[in-house]
Protein backbone atom coordinates (compact mmCIF):
# COMPACT_ATOMS: atom_id res chain seq x y z
CA UNK A 1 0.00 0.00 0.00
CA UNK A 2 1.27 3.44 -0.88
CA UNK A 3 2.20 5.98 1.79
CA UNK A 4 0.13 9.16 1.57
CA UNK A 5 1.79 12.56 1.98
CA UNK A 6 -0.45 14.35 4.45
CA UNK A 7 -1.06 18.09 4.46
CA UNK A 8 -3.47 20.48 6.11
CA UNK A 9 -5.55 20.24 2.94
CA UNK A 10 -6.03 16.45 2.89
CA UNK A 11 -5.60 15.45 6.57
CA UNK A 12 -9.30 15.45 7.42
CA UNK A 13 -10.26 13.36 4.36
CA UNK A 14 -7.31 10.92 4.50
CA UNK A 15 -7.05 10.49 8.28
CA UNK A 16 -9.99 11.78 10.30
CA UNK A 17 -12.67 10.44 7.91
CA UNK A 18 -10.84 7.20 7.04
CA UNK A 19 -12.81 3.93 7.24
CA UNK A 20 -9.65 2.12 8.40
CA UNK A 21 -7.05 3.01 11.06
CA UNK A 22 -4.31 5.37 9.88
CA UNK A 23 -0.68 5.28 11.05
CA UNK A 24 0.71 8.82 10.78
CA UNK A 25 4.46 9.44 10.81
CA UNK A 26 5.42 12.99 11.86
CA UNK A 27 8.97 13.64 10.59
CA UNK A 28 11.45 16.20 9.22
CA UNK A 29 14.23 15.96 6.63
CA UNK A 30 16.92 17.10 9.12
CA UNK A 31 15.99 14.47 11.73
CA UNK A 32 18.41 11.51 11.87
CA UNK A 33 16.10 9.10 13.74
CA UNK A 34 13.32 10.01 11.27
CA UNK A 35 15.53 8.84 8.40
CA UNK A 36 16.07 5.53 10.20
CA UNK A 37 12.37 5.06 11.01
CA UNK A 38 10.99 6.07 7.61
CA UNK A 39 11.98 2.88 5.70
CA UNK A 40 10.45 0.76 8.50
CA UNK A 41 7.18 2.70 8.22
CA UNK A 42 7.31 2.17 4.43
CA UNK A 43 7.77 -1.60 4.96
CA UNK A 44 4.80 -1.74 7.35
CA UNK A 45 2.74 0.20 4.78
CA UNK A 46 3.69 -2.30 2.08
CA UNK A 47 2.37 -5.12 4.28
CA UNK A 48 -0.90 -3.35 5.20
CA UNK A 49 -3.19 -5.20 2.73
CA UNK A 50 -5.85 -2.53 3.14
CA UNK A 51 -6.40 -3.17 6.86
CA UNK A 52 -4.92 0.27 7.64
CA UNK A 53 -3.41 3.26 5.87
CA UNK A 54 -0.08 5.00 6.38
CA UNK A 55 0.60 8.70 5.95
CA UNK A 56 3.49 11.04 6.62
CA UNK A 57 3.49 14.63 7.81
CA UNK A 58 6.59 16.77 7.26
CA UNK A 59 6.48 18.92 10.41
CA UNK A 60 8.49 21.73 8.75
CA UNK A 61 5.96 22.04 5.92
CA UNK A 62 2.90 21.36 8.09
CA UNK A 63 3.63 23.12 11.37
CA UNK A 64 -0.08 23.66 12.07
CA UNK A 65 -0.75 19.90 12.04
CA UNK A 66 2.30 19.30 14.24
CA UNK A 67 1.03 21.90 16.69
CA UNK A 68 -2.52 20.58 16.66
CA UNK A 69 -1.32 17.08 17.59
CA UNK A 70 1.23 18.31 20.17
CA UNK A 71 4.30 17.05 18.35
CA UNK A 72 7.20 18.00 20.64
CA UNK A 73 9.74 15.38 19.50
CA UNK A 74 10.15 13.53 16.24
CA UNK A 75 9.87 10.98 14.87
CA UNK A 76 6.39 10.64 16.31
CA UNK A 77 3.91 7.98 15.25
CA UNK A 78 0.21 8.36 15.95
CA UNK A 79 -2.52 5.90 15.06
CA UNK A 80 -5.91 7.42 14.29
CA UNK A 81 -9.13 5.44 14.37
CA UNK A 82 -12.53 7.06 13.98
CA UNK A 83 -10.88 10.47 13.92
CA UNK A 84 -9.19 10.00 17.31
CA UNK A 85 -5.61 9.18 18.33
CA UNK A 86 -5.77 5.68 19.81
CA UNK A 87 -2.07 4.80 20.03
CA UNK A 88 1.20 6.70 19.80
CA UNK A 89 4.95 6.37 20.01
CA UNK A 90 7.82 8.87 20.04
CA UNK A 91 11.38 8.18 18.91
CA UNK A 92 13.03 5.43 16.94
CA UNK A 93 11.42 2.02 17.42
CA UNK A 94 11.99 -1.33 15.66
CA UNK A 95 9.72 -2.47 12.84
CA UNK A 96 7.84 -4.99 15.01
CA UNK A 97 6.84 -2.18 17.40
CA UNK A 98 5.71 -0.01 14.47
CA UNK A 99 3.59 -2.92 13.26
CA UNK A 100 2.24 -3.57 16.77
CA UNK A 101 0.84 -0.02 16.86
CA UNK A 102 -1.67 -0.86 14.12
CA UNK A 103 -2.28 -4.54 14.82
CA UNK A 104 -5.55 -5.58 16.37
CA UNK A 105 -7.40 -2.40 15.43
Residue pLDDT, tens place only, 39-85: 999 999 999 988 999 999 999 999 999 999 999 999 999 999 999 99
Is residue 3 within 8 A of residue 41, CB to CB? The reply is: yes
Q: Considering the domain 4-102 in this protein, what is its CATH number?
A: 3.40.30.10
What's CA 40's distance to the chain center, in Å?
12
- What positions carry a catalytic annotation? 31, 34
What's CA 81's distance to the chain center, in Å?
12
Whole-angstrom distance, CA of residue 60 vs CA of residue 47: 28
Among 23, 38, 45, 22, smallest CA distance to 74 is for: 38
What's CA 31's distance to the chain center, in Å?
15
Per-residue pLDDT at 105: 87
Per-residue pLDDT at 49: 87
Average pLDDT over residues 7-33: 98
Among 77, 70, 83, smallest CA distance to 98 is for: 77
pLDDT at 8 over 90: yes
Distant-in-sequence, close-in-space partners of 39: CB < 8 Å, separation ≥ 6: none
Residue 12: which pLDDT band, with cuts at 50, 70 and 90? Answer: very high
**pTM of structure:** 0.96
Taking every pair of Cα atoms in the chain, the longest distance, rounded to a whole number of angstroms, is: 33
> Mean pLDDT across the chain, nearest whole number?
96
Whole-angstrom distance, CA of residue 35 vs CA of residue 75: 9
Amino acid sequence: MEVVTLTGANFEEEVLKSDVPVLVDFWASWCGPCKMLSPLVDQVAAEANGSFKVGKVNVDDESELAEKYNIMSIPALKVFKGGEVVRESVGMIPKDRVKALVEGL
